[in-house]
Amino acid sequence: MLLEIFSILIFFLSGLLGLILSKKEPIAAKITFGGGILASILSLVLPIMVLVTKHSLILSLPWNRLLGDFVLEIDPLSSLFLILIALLYIPAAIYGRDYISKWFGKKSIGASCFFFNLLPLSMMFVVMARTSLLFIIAWEVMSVASFFLVSFENEDKRVQRSGLIYLITTNVATLFLIPFFILMGSDNNFINFHPLSNSFVFLLAIIAFGIKSGLIPFHIWVFKAYSVAPIHVAVFMSAAMIKIGFYGILRTFTFINEPPVWWGTFLIVLGLVSALLGILMTLVQKDIKKFLAYSSIENMGIITLALGIALLGQSLNVTILMVLGTLGALYHIINHAFIKGLLFLGAGSVIENCKINNLNLMGGLIKKMPKTAFFFLIGSLAILGAPILNGFVSEFFIYLGAFQGSVLKSASCILTLVVLPMVAALVLLAFAGAFSMIFLGHPRSPQIQEAFEAKKSALFSMGYLAIGCVVLGLGAVFIVPIISEIIPTIFFTSEKTTQALSLNIVNILYYILAYSFILISLIAIFYFLRRRVLIKRKVDSTITWDCGFIKPSFRMQYSYSSFSEMFVDFWQKILVRIYYQSSDGIFVKSITFTSTGFDFVNKKIFQPAFEIFSFILLKLKFLQQGKVQIYILYIFMTLLFLLIWKLW
C-alpha cells in the first residue's frame, strides 16, 4: 500500500507546486502534468498485482476519534477502477499540457493545475476508502475539484451557470449518500456493513450514484459540464470520473445477498430508457461536445442495463446471467473510457484548430487533418461495436446475456432484445453523420480552409487511446479471464463456476474475433493489391453529372441537421424545436430557419422544479441576517438538537 500512498502524494505535491509556481506558468504546467503522469504510472503497480495474485491489500491506521479508523483497501474491484483512473489520466494530461499553454499570460493557471491533480487523487481515495466518512470526504473533494475544473473559463456566463448546475447536482448526490450510509448499518467500517433496509438502500444507491453516472433523469449536469469544460477536463471526466458512480453501485451489490427480482428488472428498464433517450438526444445535437455528452448518457444506460442482467441472474440464482451481465458492464466501463476519451480528443483538436463546434459548419477536414480523421474513425467504429474493436466485445456479452434471460422468459430481457438493436441502429446513424459532416464533403465555413493537423501531443494521446481500443478488442480473450476474477467479489457465487463459464464464453469470443480479423485482413490485402496493380495505370478524371449546376456551393450538400432530418421529424414534438422567421411584406426577401435540440426531461421537469425551489429559498431569505450572533445561535440550536437526538 505504501507505493499507492506514495503515488497519491506525488499527485498532491505536483499539483500544489503548480499552484505555488503559477506565476512561472511553463514550469508550473510541466511539474503538474509531469508529476501526475509519474504518479499514474506508479499507481498501476499494486492494482495489477492484486488482479493477478487475487490477494487484497489493506492499510488500517487506528484513530479512535470521531472519524473512526483510517482504512484503505485495494481489492479486485477497486483495482479495476484504479487502473482505469491511471491509464486515462495520462492522455488527458499530455493533451492538457498544450491546451493550458494557450492561457499563459492571460489568466492564472495555478488553480486549474492543482485541481486537475486533485481530481484523480480524490477518485483513488473513493475507490479505496473503507469507512463511510472517508468515502464521503473523498467524494466531496472529487466533486469540488471537478467543479473548479469545469468552471475554469468562468468569464463566460454560460460557464458559470453550467458549473453551478454541476455543483448543485453533485451535492444532491451527496445528500442521498448520507441516509444511504446510515441505513447500511451503525458500523463505520465499510467492510462490515449490514444493510438495515435492502430495498431503500438500493434506491438511495441508484439515485446517489446514478446522478454521478449521468443516468436519465439525473443527466442534466452531463451536457452542461462537458460542453463548457476544457477539452482535457472533459476527456478525463467522461472517460474516468463518470464511471465512479458505477463503482458505488457495484460496491453496494457486495453487501446484499438476496436481491428481489424487481431490482434487476428496474435497472434493465432504467438502462434501456437512458440508452434510448440518450441516443435520440444525441441525434439532434449540433454542438459536437453536447453530441458526445449525450452519447455518454446512452452508454451509461447500456452499462446499467448490463448490471440489471447481472442482478437478475443473482435473484434467479442463474450464474450465467451474473457472469455475462457483470462482464458486459465491467468491460463496457473500460471500453467507453477509451472510446469516449478518443472521440473527445478528436473533437477537441477540431474545435481548437477551426474555432468551430457546430457540426453544420464543418466538413472536408479529412484533407486538412487526416491523422485526426483516422483516429476519430477508429473511435466511431469502436462505439458502433465493429468487430475486432473493443466496443464489440462488451456488447457481445450484453446481447448474449439478454438472449439467456429471454430463454428464461424474462420480460425485461425480451424487451432488451427489441430496444437494444434500435439503439445500435441509431448510434450508427449518429456517428456516420458526425464523421461525415466533420471530415467528408466540402468545407462549410471559411475557417476550415485555415485548419491544420493537430499537435503531436494531441496525436500521441489519440494514438494511445486508439491502440487501447484495438488491444481491448483483439486481446479480449486474454483480458476477460482476468476481469472475471472480480465477479465473485461482487456477487456471492462460486469462483470455480465463474471461471468455467468465463472460459466457455471466451472460447466463443475467440472464434468470432479470429474470423473477423481474418476477414478484415483479407479486405486490407485486396485493397493494397488493387492499389499496387493500378499504381502504374493512367487514370482519367472528369466531372460527374452535376444536375445542371456548373459550380455547386457548400450549401448544396447535406448538413448534419438535414442528414438526420427524416428521423428527427418523426420525434419532432419530443426532441427538437423549429423556428421560422421571415421578412414582412407581400414579397418575402429572406427566411431564417433554426432548429435546436429539446431535452424535455430538463425543460419540463427540472427547470420548473428549480424555479419552485428558488421561490421557496427567496421566501426563507429572512434567515440570512448577516449577523454573526444569529449564525452562532443557529449552530447552538443544531448542536442541541443533535444532543437530544442522541440521548433519545
Q: How many CB atoms lie within 10 A of CB 528?
A: 10
Q: Please indicate, yes or no, whether residues 350 and 479 belong to a single structural domain of this protein.
A: yes
Q: What is the pLDDT of residue 576?
A: 64
Q: Please indicate, yes or no, whether residues 378 and 497 belong to a single structural domain of this protein.
A: yes
131/108 Cα distance (integer angstroms): 36
Q: Is residue 639 part of a domain?
A: yes
282/576 Cα distance (integer angstroms): 11
Question: pLDDT-derived band of residue 353, with 50, 70 and 90 as boundaries?
Answer: confident
Q: What's the rounded mean pLDDT across residues 291-302? A: 90
pTM greater than 0.85: yes
- With contact defined as beta carbons under 8 Å apart, do 346 and 462 qualify? yes
Q: Is residue 17 part of a domain?
A: no
218/214 Cα distance (integer angstroms): 6
Q: What is the pLDDT of residue 605?
A: 72
Q: What's the rounded mean pLDDT across residues 71-82? A: 90
Query: Quick check: 626 pLDDT over 60?
Result: yes
Higher-pLDDT residue of 584 and 279 is 279
pLDDT digits (tens, 9 = 90+) for 383-411: 988 888 888 888 989 999 998 888 888 88
474/510 Cα distance (integer angstroms): 9
Q: H-type helices in 151-287, by residue range?
A: 157-183, 198-213, 220-228, 231-239, 244-253, 261-283
Per DSSP, what are the bridge partners of residue 59?
A: 72
Query: Quick check: 606 pLDDT over 60?
Result: yes
Q: What is the pLDDT of residue 179?
A: 83
Question: How many structural domains are present in the chain?
Answer: 2
- With contact defined as beta carbons under 8 Å apart, do 284 and 336 qualify? no
- With contact defined as beta carbons under 8 Å apart, do 71 and 58 qualify? yes
The average confidence (pLDDT) of the chain is 83
**What is the percent of the chain with per-residue pLDDT over 90, rounded to a whole number?**
18
Q: Is residue 298 part of a domain?
A: yes
Locate 35 and state its grid cell.
508529476
Q: Is residue 524 part of a domain?
A: yes
Q: Please indicate, yes or no, whether residues 523 and 610 belong to a single structural domain of this protein.
A: no
Q: Please indicate, yes or no, whether residues 626 and 519 belong to a single structural domain of this protein.
A: no
Question: pLDDT-derived band of residue 548, with 50, 70 and 90 as boundaries?
Answer: low
Q: What's the rounded mean pLDDT across residues 136-147? A: 90
Q: What is the pLDDT of residue 511?
A: 84
Q: Please indicate, yes or no, whether residues 495 and 629 belong to a single structural domain of this protein.
A: no
Q: Please indicate, yes or no, whether residues 444 and 328 belong to a single structural domain of this protein.
A: yes
Cell 477509451 identifies what position?
A: 338
Q: Please indicate, yes or no, whether residues 457 and 315 belong to a single structural domain of this protein.
A: yes
> What is the separation, in whole angstroms, between the first and last Cα of the chain?
42
Q: Is residue 218 part of a domain?
A: no
Residues 6+ apart with CB under 8 A from 306: 271, 325, 326, 328, 329, 332, 394, 397, 398, 401
Its sign, for the CA torsion 316, 322, 328, 329, is positive
Instruction: Determine whether 198 is exposed, middle or buried from the number of CB atoms within 10 Å of its CB (0-12, 13-18, 19+).
Output: middle
Q: Closest Cα partner for 226 from 166, 289, 152?
A: 289
Q: Please indicate, yes or no, whether residues 323 and 461 belong to a single structural domain of this protein.
A: yes
310/327 Cα distance (integer angstroms): 9
Q: What's the rounded mean pLDDT across residues 623-641? A: 82
175/207 Cα distance (integer angstroms): 10
Q: Is residue 30 part of a domain?
A: no
Q: Is residue 72 part of a domain?
A: no
- With contact defined as beta carbons under 8 Å apart, do 273 and 422 qualify? no
Which of 145-159, 278-292, 295-309, 525-539 has the highest mean predicted lDDT (pLDDT)?
Answer: 295-309
170/616 Cα distance (integer angstroms): 21
The region, left, alpha or beta by phi > 0 then psi within -120 to 50, assigned to residue 442 is: beta
293/282 Cα distance (integer angstroms): 8
Q: Is residue 580 part of a domain?
A: no
Q: Closest Cα partner for 335 from 296, 374, 277?
A: 296
Q: Please indicate, yes or no, whether residues 619 and 486 belong to a single structural domain of this protein.
A: no
- With contact defined as beta carbons under 8 Å apart, do 116 and 32 qualify? yes
Q: What is the pLDDT of residue 407?
A: 85
Triad 158, 161, 164: Cα angle to 5°: 150
Q: What is the pLDDT of residue 87?
A: 93
Q: Please indicate, yes or no, whether residues 341 and 487 belong to a single structural domain of this protein.
A: yes
Q: In the listed set 497, 532, 567, which residue is the last one of a domain according to the structure?
A: 532
82/86 Cα distance (integer angstroms): 6
Q: In the listed set 508, 532, 556, which residue is the last one of a domain according to the structure?
A: 532
Residues listed for the chain: 648
203/181 Cα distance (integer angstroms): 13
Q: In the listed set 506, 532, 558, which residue is the last one of a domain according to the structure?
A: 532
Q: What's the rounded mean pLDDT across residues 98-112? A: 81
Range with the poorest average pLDDT among 195-199, 510-514, 616-620: 195-199
Q: Please indicate, yes or no, whether residues 295 and 398 belong to a single structural domain of this protein.
A: yes
Q: Please indicate, yes or no, whether residues 491 and 607 belong to a single structural domain of this protein.
A: no
Range of the domain at 640: 600-647
Question: pLDDT-derived band of residue 187, with 50, 70 and 90 as boundaries?
Answer: low
Cis check: omega of the bond before 217, within 30 degrees of 0? yes
- With contact defined as beta carbons under 8 Å apart, do 51 and 80 qualify? yes
